[in-house]
Chains A and B, each alone.
Chain A
Protein backbone atom coordinates (compact mmCIF):
# COMPACT_ATOMS: atom_id res chain seq x y z
CA UNK A 1 0.00 0.00 0.00
CA UNK A 2 0.85 3.66 0.01
CA UNK A 3 2.05 5.49 3.09
CA UNK A 4 4.25 8.37 4.18
CA UNK A 5 6.34 8.50 7.33
CA UNK A 6 7.44 11.92 8.36
CA UNK A 7 9.81 13.19 10.99
CA UNK A 8 7.91 14.07 14.11
CA UNK A 9 8.07 17.57 15.43
CA UNK A 10 7.93 20.09 16.62
CA UNK A 11 11.21 21.44 15.34
CA UNK A 12 12.59 24.69 16.72
CA UNK A 13 15.53 26.38 15.03
CA UNK A 14 17.30 29.68 15.26
CA UNK A 15 17.18 31.98 12.28
CA UNK A 16 19.80 31.10 9.61
CA UNK A 17 20.09 27.52 10.84
CA UNK A 18 20.06 24.54 8.47
CA UNK A 19 16.80 22.64 8.19
CA UNK A 20 16.17 18.99 7.41
CA UNK A 21 12.77 17.36 7.72
CA UNK A 22 12.88 13.65 6.97
CA UNK A 23 10.27 11.90 4.86
CA UNK A 24 10.21 8.29 3.74
CA UNK A 25 7.53 6.52 1.80
CA UNK A 26 6.17 3.18 0.70
CA UNK A 27 4.32 2.98 -2.56
CA UNK A 28 3.25 0.70 -5.33
CA UNK A 29 4.42 1.83 -8.71
CA UNK A 30 6.14 5.14 -9.29
CA UNK A 31 4.48 7.95 -7.35
CA UNK A 32 5.07 11.66 -7.51
CA UNK A 33 6.28 13.23 -4.26
CA UNK A 34 5.32 16.58 -2.78
CA UNK A 35 5.96 18.92 0.08
CA UNK A 36 3.11 21.12 1.20
CA UNK A 37 3.32 23.99 3.66
CA UNK A 38 0.61 25.35 5.91
CA UNK A 39 1.26 28.77 7.40
CA UNK A 40 -0.62 29.74 10.55
CA UNK A 41 -4.30 30.27 9.84
CA UNK A 42 -3.97 29.42 6.15
CA UNK A 43 -4.67 26.50 3.84
CA UNK A 44 -2.14 24.14 2.33
CA UNK A 45 0.16 25.41 -0.38
CA UNK A 46 2.22 23.30 -2.70
CA UNK A 47 5.86 24.02 -1.88
CA UNK A 48 7.68 21.72 -4.28
CA UNK A 49 7.37 18.45 -6.10
CA UNK A 50 9.34 15.73 -7.88
CA UNK A 51 7.84 13.31 -10.33
CA UNK A 52 10.55 10.71 -10.87
CA UNK A 53 13.65 9.24 -9.29
CA UNK A 54 16.60 11.64 -8.87
CA UNK A 55 14.43 14.67 -9.62
CA UNK A 56 15.06 17.62 -7.33
CA UNK A 57 12.18 19.89 -6.47
CA UNK A 58 13.00 23.40 -5.27
CA UNK A 59 11.16 26.55 -4.29
CA UNK A 60 11.77 29.51 -1.96
CA UNK A 61 15.19 28.12 -0.98
CA UNK A 62 13.76 24.72 -0.06
CA UNK A 63 14.93 21.57 -1.84
CA UNK A 64 14.05 17.89 -1.82
CA UNK A 65 15.44 15.05 -3.95
CA UNK A 66 13.43 11.99 -4.92
CA UNK A 67 15.59 9.06 -3.79
CA UNK A 68 14.14 5.79 -5.03
CA UNK A 69 16.91 3.66 -3.53
CA UNK A 70 16.18 4.93 -0.01
CA UNK A 71 12.49 5.72 -0.66
CA UNK A 72 13.03 9.18 0.76
CA UNK A 73 12.18 12.79 -0.03
CA UNK A 74 13.82 14.84 2.71
CA UNK A 75 13.15 18.58 2.81
CA UNK A 76 16.14 20.88 3.27
CA UNK A 77 16.85 24.57 3.50
CA UNK A 78 20.24 26.09 4.07
CA UNK A 79 19.19 29.11 6.10
CA UNK A 80 15.73 29.34 7.62
CA UNK A 81 13.91 32.56 8.35
CA UNK A 82 11.26 33.42 10.90
CA UNK A 83 8.76 33.56 8.04
CA UNK A 84 9.36 29.84 7.39
CA UNK A 85 7.55 28.97 10.61
CA UNK A 86 4.74 26.68 9.49
CA UNK A 87 3.64 23.06 9.35
CA UNK A 88 5.22 21.02 6.57
CA UNK A 89 3.54 17.97 5.06
CA UNK A 90 5.19 15.34 2.90
CA UNK A 91 2.82 13.61 0.46
CA UNK A 92 2.84 11.09 -2.33
CA UNK A 93 0.51 10.71 -5.26
CA UNK A 94 -0.04 7.41 -7.00
CA UNK A 95 -1.14 9.67 -9.00
CA UNK A 96 -4.85 10.32 -8.55
CA UNK A 97 -4.91 11.09 -4.86
CA UNK A 98 -2.60 12.25 -2.12
CA UNK A 99 -1.35 10.37 0.91
CA UNK A 100 -0.06 12.71 3.59
CA UNK A 101 2.45 12.39 6.35
CA UNK A 102 1.50 13.59 9.81
CA UNK A 103 3.10 17.00 9.38
CA UNK A 104 6.08 18.62 11.08
CA UNK A 105 5.68 21.94 12.84
CA UNK A 106 8.67 24.22 12.37
CA UNK A 107 9.23 27.25 14.56
CA UNK A 108 12.07 29.60 13.72
CA UNK A 109 13.14 31.99 16.44
CA UNK A 110 15.06 35.23 15.81
Chain B
Protein backbone atom coordinates (compact mmCIF):
# COMPACT_ATOMS: atom_id res chain seq x y z
CA UNK B 1 0.00 0.00 0.00
CA UNK B 2 0.97 3.65 -0.31
CA UNK B 3 1.05 6.12 2.56
CA UNK B 4 -0.13 9.56 1.57
CA UNK B 5 0.14 12.76 3.56
CA UNK B 6 -1.47 16.09 2.83
CA UNK B 7 -0.81 19.58 4.10
CA UNK B 8 -2.61 21.49 5.41
CA UNK B 9 -5.16 19.22 7.01
CA UNK B 10 -7.64 22.06 7.19
CA UNK B 11 -7.80 25.78 6.57
CA UNK B 12 -10.21 28.66 6.70
CA UNK B 13 -9.66 31.18 3.92
CA UNK B 14 -11.19 34.43 2.77
CA UNK B 15 -12.90 34.68 -0.58
CA UNK B 16 -10.68 35.89 -3.39
CA UNK B 17 -7.54 34.31 -1.97
CA UNK B 18 -5.75 31.13 -3.07
CA UNK B 19 -4.64 28.04 -1.19
CA UNK B 20 -2.06 25.47 -2.24
CA UNK B 21 -2.48 21.92 -0.96
CA UNK B 22 0.50 19.58 -0.90
CA UNK B 23 0.43 15.82 -1.35
CA UNK B 24 3.39 13.60 -0.50
CA UNK B 25 3.55 9.85 -1.15
CA UNK B 26 6.01 7.48 0.51
CA UNK B 27 6.82 5.69 -2.76
CA UNK B 28 7.01 6.48 -6.44
CA UNK B 29 3.66 6.17 -8.15
CA UNK B 30 2.69 6.56 -11.75
CA UNK B 31 -0.74 8.08 -11.36
CA UNK B 32 -1.87 10.73 -8.91
CA UNK B 33 -5.30 12.28 -8.77
CA UNK B 34 -7.07 15.14 -7.04
CA UNK B 35 -10.67 14.76 -5.89
CA UNK B 36 -13.19 17.05 -4.30
CA UNK B 37 -15.78 15.93 -1.79
CA UNK B 38 -18.42 18.56 -1.16
CA UNK B 39 -20.34 18.40 2.11
CA UNK B 40 -22.51 15.30 2.28
CA UNK B 41 -21.66 14.23 -1.24
CA UNK B 42 -19.55 11.68 -3.03
CA UNK B 43 -16.14 12.22 -4.55
CA UNK B 44 -15.66 14.07 -7.82
CA UNK B 45 -12.47 13.76 -9.79
CA UNK B 46 -10.89 17.15 -10.49
CA UNK B 47 -7.86 16.07 -12.50
CA UNK B 48 -5.10 13.57 -13.05
CA UNK B 49 -1.70 14.98 -12.13
CA UNK B 50 0.84 14.00 -14.78
CA UNK B 51 4.53 14.01 -14.03
CA UNK B 52 6.40 16.25 -16.42
CA UNK B 53 3.35 17.50 -18.29
CA UNK B 54 0.13 19.43 -17.78
CA UNK B 55 -2.60 17.87 -15.68
CA UNK B 56 -5.62 16.31 -17.34
CA UNK B 57 -8.80 18.00 -16.13
CA UNK B 58 -12.29 16.55 -15.92
CA UNK B 59 -15.30 18.30 -17.33
CA UNK B 60 -16.21 21.31 -15.22
CA UNK B 61 -12.71 21.92 -13.89
CA UNK B 62 -10.15 24.24 -15.48
CA UNK B 63 -6.49 24.90 -15.01
CA UNK B 64 -6.92 28.57 -14.19
CA UNK B 65 -9.06 27.70 -11.19
CA UNK B 66 -7.24 24.54 -10.07
CA UNK B 67 -3.60 24.68 -11.21
CA UNK B 68 -1.75 21.45 -10.45
CA UNK B 69 1.95 20.70 -10.30
CA UNK B 70 3.65 17.30 -10.29
CA UNK B 71 7.41 17.82 -10.24
CA UNK B 72 8.26 14.18 -9.49
CA UNK B 73 6.72 10.76 -8.86
CA UNK B 74 6.10 11.31 -5.13
CA UNK B 75 4.75 14.85 -4.86
CA UNK B 76 1.96 17.02 -6.22
CA UNK B 77 0.23 20.27 -5.38
CA UNK B 78 -3.27 21.54 -6.05
CA UNK B 79 -4.04 25.24 -5.86
CA UNK B 80 -7.58 26.48 -5.37
CA UNK B 81 -7.52 29.96 -6.88
CA UNK B 82 -9.69 33.00 -6.33
CA UNK B 83 -11.77 31.10 -3.82
CA UNK B 84 -15.47 31.53 -3.19
CA UNK B 85 -17.68 29.89 -0.53
CA UNK B 86 -18.71 27.30 -3.16
CA UNK B 87 -15.14 25.96 -3.03
CA UNK B 88 -15.63 24.86 0.58
CA UNK B 89 -14.97 21.12 0.38
CA UNK B 90 -12.62 18.37 1.32
CA UNK B 91 -9.84 18.00 -1.25
CA UNK B 92 -8.28 14.57 -1.49
CA UNK B 93 -5.08 13.41 -3.10
CA UNK B 94 -5.12 9.86 -4.43
CA UNK B 95 -2.64 7.50 -6.03
CA UNK B 96 -2.97 4.38 -8.12
CA UNK B 97 -0.81 1.48 -7.06
CA UNK B 98 -0.25 -1.90 -8.56
CA UNK B 99 -0.42 -4.81 -6.11
CA UNK B 100 -1.31 -7.68 -8.39
CA UNK B 101 -4.22 -5.52 -9.48
CA UNK B 102 -4.78 -1.82 -9.40
CA UNK B 103 -5.64 -0.31 -6.04
CA UNK B 104 -6.33 3.32 -5.39
CA UNK B 105 -5.38 4.95 -2.09
CA UNK B 106 -6.40 8.26 -0.63
CA UNK B 107 -4.78 10.85 1.52
CA UNK B 108 -6.49 12.09 4.69
CA UNK B 109 -7.89 15.11 2.87
CA UNK B 110 -7.70 18.87 3.31
CA UNK B 111 -10.84 20.43 4.73
CA UNK B 112 -11.23 23.89 3.23
CA UNK B 113 -13.72 26.47 4.43
CA UNK B 114 -14.06 29.71 2.49
CA UNK B 115 -15.71 32.62 4.25
Contact = CB atoms under 8 A, between A and B. Distances in A.
Interface of A: 32, 34, 36, 42-46, 49, 51, 89, 91, 93, 95-98, 100-103
Given A43-B106, A97-B33, 5 more contacts: A32-B101, A44-B43, A100-B43, A101-B42, A102-B42
Given A46-B104, A49-B103, A95-B102, A89 B42 contact: yes
Contacts of A100: 42-43
Contacts of A49: 101, 103
A48 B113 CA distance: 31
B45 A97 contact: yes
A98 B42 contact: no
Interface residues of B, number: 20
Contacts of B33: 97
Interface string B79-98: 00000000000001010100
B53 interface: no
A103 B90 CA distance: 15
B41 interface: yes
B108 interface: yes
Interface in B54-77: none
A43 B101 contact: no
A51 B41 CA distance: 26
A37 B103 CA distance: 14
A89 B96 CA distance: 17
B97 to A, nearest CB: 10
Nearest to B48: A97
Contacts of B42: 89, 100-103
A49 B97 CA distance: 14
Given A97-B33, A97-B45, A100-B43, A46 B96 contact: no
A93 B108 contact: no
A43 B108 CA distance: 4
A4 B53 CA distance: 30
B100 to A, nearest CB: 8
Contacts of B102: 32, 93, 95-96
